[in-house]
């Protein structure tokens, strides 16, 4: 029993116990990757994607790079969170007036439920990378909303409830290319349209090399009794390009621009073949979690090498203890 996660129980969460010889706080699913190459007629590689429980099963919004290599978002569903059926065609968006609109590209979606609505936040073309946001109630009709923040920006992550009466979103202002910098910023909104009251949350860290080039928020923050649990990616620049690893932080529940604890060392870095080999080698990019409040189990969905979708696990109390004991904030 655990009472640390403030949320619902999910008895059918995908899960595998920690291997007895594993000393890490996060461990990988033994049957990774769960989505391999070419899972659909248009989808060549599915990665950096988001899932959520829905009506007793699981649904997801998947980033698929198509055969012209432009990423789009595809809907998928699964009875167990492990084997996924991805729709052959991308999600069709309409504007608030109900007219069908085309998205030039879309990638790295996050998916969450706030009150009775599911929100999808992704990297959109403004033109140039920016935060796209849309909503659905049934995963049939999808309405694209106003762009919340100015370009260029990526890694938009909405909190699952209002904080002090305002919606809150993390993002990572960037450039129009493969951005060699980046810190995590918090913005507030009364209505999901107008955003302001921007606050710096966390910066890249020169001394902690795995997160020395840029950082970006990952899955929707998880509310816990110890603060908002935020998984994030950190990037180092090597002679061979960027390497993406995963860390975590605890943010103050009432003022999430205040970092309480933050991992000095990465929680996971590309090590397995499906993480070190692929379209972009050495990428471990978390975009979603499933949580079971009753047991404290957390399943982390991450993109591996911009090629596969993979799964890792952790337990909230053990993870928080690890973060507190291995934290460095400056």
Among 283, 298, 304, 319, binds ligand BMA (CB under 6 A): 283
Q: Closer to ligand BMA at the Cβ: 74 or 244?
A: 244
Ranked by CB distance to ligand BMA, the top (closest) residue is: 280
Residues between 50 and 109 that touch ligand BMA (CB under 6 A)? 107-108
User: What are the tokens at 106?
Assistant: 């879309």
Residue 38 and residue 47 in contact, taking contact as beta carbons nearer than 8 Å = no
Q: Closer to ligand BMA at the Cβ: 156 or 303?
A: 303
Q: Closer to ligand BMA at the Cβ: 142 or 308?
A: 308
Residues between 297 and 316 that touch ligand BMA (CB under 6 A)? 303, 306
Q: Closer to ligand BMA at the Cβ: 142 or 285?
A: 285
CB of 108 to ligand BMA, least distance (A): 5
Among 48, 130, 269, 291, binds ligand BMA (CB under 6 A): 48
Q: Closer to ligand BMA at the Cβ: 44 or 192?
A: 44
Q: Closer to ligand BMA at the Cβ: 244 or 308?
A: 244
> Angle 7-155-191 (CA atoms, 0-180°, nearest 5)?
65
CB of 282 to ligand BMA, least distance (A): 9
Residues between 98 and 127 that touch ligand BMA (CB under 6 A)? 107-108
Report how far apart, in Å, the C-alpha atoms of 219 and of each of 81, 166, 280, 282 are: 16, 20, 21, 19
Q: What is the DSSP string of 260-312?
A: EEEBSS-SB-S-SHHHHSSSSSSBEEEEEEEEETTTTEEEEEEEETTTEEEEE
| Euclidean distance between CA atoms 65 and 50, whole angstroms | 15
* 165 backbone φψ class: left, alpha, beta (φ>0; ψ -120 to 50): left
Residues between 238 and 257 that touch ligand BMA (CB under 6 A)? 244
CB of 280 to ligand BMA, least distance (A): 4
Q: Closer to ligand BMA at the Cβ: 107 or 159?
A: 107
CB of 63 to ligand BMA, least distance (A): 7
State the chain's maximal CA–CA distance in angstroms: 56
Query: Is position 292 an interface residue for ligand BMA (rule: CB under 6 A)?
Result: no
CB of 317 to ligand BMA, least distance (A): 30
Among 280, 317, 318, 327, binds ligand BMA (CB under 6 A): 280
Quick count: other Cβ atoms within 10 Å of Cβ 271? 11
Residue 301 and residue 314 in contact, taking contact as beta carbons nearer than 8 Å = no
Report how far apart, in Å, the C-alpha atoms of 110 and of each of 35, 216, 268, 316 are: 17, 13, 20, 21
CB of 27 to ligand BMA, least distance (A): 22
- Partners of 35 in the β-ladder: 309
Given CA atoms 198, 200, 201, 203 in this order, what sign does their dihedral have? Answer: positive
User: What are the tokens at 108?
Assistant: 């790295």
Chain positions contacting ligand BMA, by CB under 6 A: 48, 107-108, 178, 244, 280, 283, 285, 303, 306
């Amino acid at each position: 029993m655990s009472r640390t996660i403030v949320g619902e129980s999910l008895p059918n969460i995908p899960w595998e116990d920690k291997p007895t010889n594993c000393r890490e706080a996060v461990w990988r699913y033994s049957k990774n990757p769960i989505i391999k190459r070419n899972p659909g007629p248009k989808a060549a590689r599915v990665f950096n994607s988001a899932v959520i429980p829905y009506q007793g099963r699981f649904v997801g919004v998947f980033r698929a790079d198509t055969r012209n290599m432009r990423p789009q978002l595809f809907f998928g569903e699964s009875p167990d969170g492990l084997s996924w059926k991805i729709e052959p065609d991308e999600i069709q968006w309409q504007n608030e007036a109900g007219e069908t609109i085309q998205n030039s590209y879309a990638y790295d979606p996050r998916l969450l439920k706030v009150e009775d609505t599911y929100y999808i936040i992704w990297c959109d073309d403004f033109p140039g990378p920016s935060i796209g946001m849309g909503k659905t109630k049934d995963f049939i009709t999808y309405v694209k909303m106003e762009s919340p923040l100015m370009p260029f920006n990526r890694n938009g992550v909405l909190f699952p409830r209002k904080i002090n009466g305002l919606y809150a979103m993390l993002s990572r202002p960037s450039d129009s290319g493969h951005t060699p910098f980046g810190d995590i910023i918090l913005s507030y909104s009364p209505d999901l349209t107008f955003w302001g009251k921007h606050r710096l949350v966390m910066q890249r860290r020169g001394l902690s090399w795995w997160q020395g080039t840029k950082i970006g928020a990952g899955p929707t923050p998880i509310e816990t009794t110890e603060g908002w649990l935020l998984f994030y990616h950190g990037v180092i620049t090597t002679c061979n390009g960027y390497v993406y690893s995963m860390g975590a932080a605890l943010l103050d529940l009432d003022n999430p621009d205040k970092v309480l604890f933050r991992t000095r060392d990465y929680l996971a870095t590309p090590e397995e073949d499906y993480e070190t080999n692929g379209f972009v080698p050495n990428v471990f990019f978390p975009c979603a979690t499933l949580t079971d409040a009753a047991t404290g189990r957390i399943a982390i969905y991450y993109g591996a090498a911009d090629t596969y979708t993979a799964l890792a696990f952790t337990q909230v109390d053990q993870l928080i203890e690890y973060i507190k004991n291995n934290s460095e904030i400056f």
